[in-house]
Amino acid sequence: MIRVVLADDHAIFRAGLVKLLQTMTGVEVVAEASSGKEAVELAGKLHPDIMILDLAMGEVNGLEATSQIHAEHPDIRVIILSMHANDEYVMQALSSGALAYVLKEATPDELKLAIEAVSHGSVFLSAAISKGVLDDYFGQAVGKPAQHKQLTPRQKQILQLISEGKNVKQIAFELKLSVKTVESHRTQLMERLGIPNAMALVHYAARLSPLSNK
């Protein structure tokens, strides 16, 4: 079961969304929150698989809550719900650590697809959102060899292994390095490529073709 916590400060909307989620096979709503602050607290207490957060909430908004949750519990996947299709809001949500941005006007099937996507660590954006947002987010260097030529051979090697879906422990085992050393290389990779967090690096790497000839 995918354990979900839902946060929205509109009680009627939240109740309708809970009923919708309860119809989805494999999804369990374990708690509800009426504010971003409450959502952050529930993240620590319940450690759900996914949190669905309204963008505009009082006290602590969805972006602020996402940043706190991502910093404290990076394995919790966050879906942002919003009335706004503005690219800037989408970019802010992704930079805060959210994996999905779903418009409130989206269909139930679209929300279901978002839940399935983020449960596998993938990024999901509502169809109405500009397709150029992800390219802007991951940088103009996606697929351009020049950016990767700035990396050391070891950094390229680690980026390649990340693109193959390997985690830090698997990379450390394969390269006969300590986990701490791999984490250090990963941090340097993010700094060199201008990528804000480890989850974003995974998605960046997944978009690349093999780097061996670059």
How far, in Å, CA of 72 to CA of 64, rounded? 12
pLDDT for the residue numbered 212:
41
pLDDT for the residue numbered 176:
92
pLDDT for the residue numbered 186:
87
- Structure-derived torsion over alpha carbons of residues 59, 62, 64, 68, reported in degrees to the nearest 10: 110
pLDDT for the residue numbered 34:
92
pLDDT for the residue numbered 133:
66
Q: Do the strands 27-33 and 2-7 form a parallel or antiparallel pair, or are they unpaired?
A: parallel
With a cut of 50, list the residues of the chain below it in pLDDT. 140-146, 209-214
Which residues make Cβ contacts (< 8 Å) with residue 171, sequence separation at least 6? 158, 161, 162, 177, 182
How far, in Å, CA of 113 to CA of 125, rounded? 10
pLDDT for the residue numbered 66:
93
Q: H/E element holding 50?
A: strand 50-54
Q: Do the strands 77-82 and 124-125 form a parallel or antiparallel pair, or are they unpaired?
A: unpaired
Which residues make Cβ contacts (< 8 Å) with residue 42, sequence separation at least 6? 5, 7, 31, 33, 48, 51
* Sign of the alpha-carbon torsion through 105, 108, 110, 111: positive
pTM for the structure as a whole: 0.67
Closest CA to 199 of 126, 129, 112, 117: 117
pLDDT for the residue numbered 7:
94
How far, in Å, CA of 77 to CA of 73, rounded? 9
Alpha helices in the chain (DSSP H): 11-22, 36-46, 62-72, 87-96, 108-119, 132-138, 145-149, 153-163, 168-175, 179-193, 198-206
Which tens digits make up the pLDDT trace of 138-160?
554 444 444 555 778 888 888 88
Compute how many other C-beta atoms are within 10 angstroms of the C-beta atom of residue 55.
23
What are the structural domains, with CATH classification, of the chain?
A: 2-137 (3.40.50.2300), 143-206 (1.10.10.10)
pLDDT for the residue numbered 209:
45
| Amino acid code (one letter) for 151 | L
Compute how many other C-beta atoms are within 10 angstroms of the C-beta atom of residue 36.
27
Beta carbons of 79 and 118 less than 8 angstroms apart = yes
